[in-house]
Structure 1
């Protein structure tokens, strides 16, 4: 590979900062994505939640 071609500008360099890409915790759901009531531990009718599963 000809490195001179790779190192020839113009270049654009964005500033980046560390970010939280997911949140620990959140709503408790069952396998069907239904939100679980924290007191009764039963699904709340017609309430669903989605997100990143870890």
Structure 2
């Protein structure tokens, strides 16, 4: 997350993302995660998300 120096609620934002995925994908949406704050991201993006997903056919 692109955050100001004093911001300390990274895990709260990650919790919201985890809750959303759990609601949308049920048990399949539960997995590992990381919340990391940095002073900048490429393109001045506010957040970078990495997601690993599997598809059942």
| Same fold per superposition (TM over 0.5) | no
Q: Which has the larger radius of gyration?
A: 1
Report 1 or 2 for greater relative contact order, CA contacts < 8 Å, sequence distance ≥ 6.
2
TM-score by length of 2: 0.20
TM-score by length of 1: 0.20
Q: Which has the higher helix share?
A: 2
Q: Which has the higher strand share?
A: 1
